Every structure is written in structure tokens, then in C-alpha cells.
Structure 1
Amino acid sequence: MIRHEDRTLLVATHLSQLLDLVTGIGGFIVPLFLWLTQKEKIINMDSQGKEILNFQVSLFIYGILCIPLMLLFGLGLLGLMVVGFLGFIFPIINAIKVSNGEIPHYPLSIVFFK
């Protein structure tokens, strides 16, 4: 199969994570679907799709860990705000990087998909 470059689809894949703000889980489902269907067709979709999914799963875990912290120490609310901020800002930053031809990276991601 011939692979081609499609920065627009890569940008859309990064920005689709923002669906979490509207749907709650769409920010994981849409990038997963795009990665699974396009990883063999679009250059860099495989590596960037894995980065996105690792970031999404990591944010979910961090959010879950904040819940007991809210009950025990009250710090969980601050943690959830930080997780929410990271989940909002990094997809935008990385979409801009992809549109400029740069390689995106999501900090604090736990590697689940290699």
C-alpha cells in the first residue's frame, strides 16, 4: 500500500482529543478510530496515533488518582484542574507543531502503545 503525507488529518487527529470537553470519551474514541483505520495509509499516523492514545490513557489514570486525593487531602481538585489544563493545551500545541511539520510530543505520557 502506498503511504502519503496528510498533515490535515494528523492535525484533526490531535484536535479530536478536545471532544472530551463535549462528549467525555470522544477524545479517545475518535483518535483511536483514525489511528486504526489510517495508520497504514498516512505517514506518521502510526507513531502520532500511539502518542495520542498514550496521552489520553495517562490523563485518565491521573484523573482517577486525583479522586482519592480529593477525599484525603483536598489536593485532588487542583490535580484535576491540572489534568484538564494539560488535556486542553497539549492537543492544541501539538496540532500546531504538526501543521508546521514538527514532531509533536506529549509530556507525562505513560507508554502503553509502543
Structure 2
Amino acid sequence: MAETITKHERNLSAVIHGATLGRFFFPLGQFLFPLIFWLPNRKQYAFVDYHGKQALNFQISMALYALVIGMISFPFFLGFLPDIFEGGIFEWTHGRHGGPFRFNMMDTFWNSPRFWWPLGLTGILELALYAVNIIYTILATLRTSEGEYFKYPLTIPFIK
């Protein structure tokens, strides 16, 4: 199959996959940079069109998964607000010492397992998602440059 695909198509498709790493240089770069290379060339080359869709669908899926993980952890942190504001870290006082606002580091709050396990679990999930994103982006770039049709795992087909 690599014989029917020109070197230009393979390089352009590899650049589309590699351009998703643009998020390290520009906000939303994982979406904008692939679009810059994919949109002008999608009608001319079927190979480029396929890989542009694959790269964008994967990045949209990864962003959606990260959002869902963040939303799952949000209620756990809302449960800590009473501990933070009433007798916890932040206290509103009316005494003469220290003014109306006092910052208090209580050992019981930070040592509480209900504070750390959601943070640790969601942190590990986000880190795993980040690693999957980087590893599969590099793998897709290499396989595409060899002329293979690469399909990302865990991808929701938003763009068809």
C-alpha cells in the first residue's frame, strides 16, 4: 500500500499527527495546528484526509476524557469547602490579632484521606491519559510516515 501513496502525502499526514504536539507551544494547538495542514489538503489526498480526521478525533476525544475526569473529581472537592472555610484553612475572625482574615494550616485537614484519595486517583488517571496521548501521537506519526493507515484507540468519531 505504501507504493500508491506519494512521499508528499505521507509527510503531510505525519506532520498533521505531529502538529498535535503544538499544544506545548500554543493554547489549543492540538486542534489548530492539525487543522492548518489538513483543511487545505483534505480534498486532494484521501490519505491526508483520513489521517487529519483521525488526529483531530483523537485529540477531541482526549480532551473530552480529561474533562470528564475533572468533572468526576469536582464533587469530591466541593465536599471539602466547609472544612476549608469554617475552622479549616481560611477563617474569618473579629479579634484584634491578625486582622479580619486568618490563614490556618490545620494538620487534620491535610492528613484526611478523603482529601487525598480523589486527588490521587484523578491525578493518576489524568497522567495516564496524558501518556497515552503522547505515546500514540508519536506512534501515529511514525506509522503514517511509513505509509500505513493508523487508527487511534479510544477515539470517538466526531468528524466523519
Question: Which deviates more from structure 2 when the two are superposed, residues 58-67 or residues 4-13?
Answer: 4-13
- Between the aligned partners of 1:95 and 1:33, the Cα distance in structure 2 is 17
CA drift of 1:23 comes to: 2.0
What TM-score, normalized by structure 1, do the two folds share? 0.87
Q: Which residue is 1:56 aligned to?
A: 59
SS, match of residue 25 in structure 2: helix
The partner residue of 1:87 within 122, 127, 133 is 133
What stretches of structure 2 of length at least 5 have no aligned partner? 77-117
The CA RMSD measured in Å over matched residues stands at 1.6
Q: What residue number does 2:69 align with?
A: 66
Question: 3-state DSSP class of the match of 1:44?
Answer: helix
Greater Rg over alpha carbons, structure:
2
Question: In 2, distance between residues paired with 1:10 and 1:69?
Answer: 35
Structure with the higher helix share, 1 or 2:
1
Shift of 1:112: 0.5
Q: 2:157 corresponds to which residue?
A: 111
Q: CA deviation at 1:95?
A: 0.9
Tell me the number of residue pairs that the alignment of Structure 1 and Structure 2 aligns.
Answer: 111
- Match for 2:17 among 14, 18, 36? 14
2:122 alignment partner in structure 1: 76
* TM superposition shift of 1:91: 1.1
Deviation by residue 1:16-58 (Cα, 9 ceiling, x = unmatched): 1111123231111011121111112234111111111110110
Question: Aligned partners of 1:34, 1:78: CA distance in 2, in Å?
Answer: 33
Deviating beyond 4 angstroms after TM superposition, the runs of 4 or more aligned structure 1 residues are none
Q: Are the equivalent residues in 2 in contact too, given 1:55–1:110 (CA < 8 A)?
A: yes
Counterpart check, 1:101 vs 2:101: no
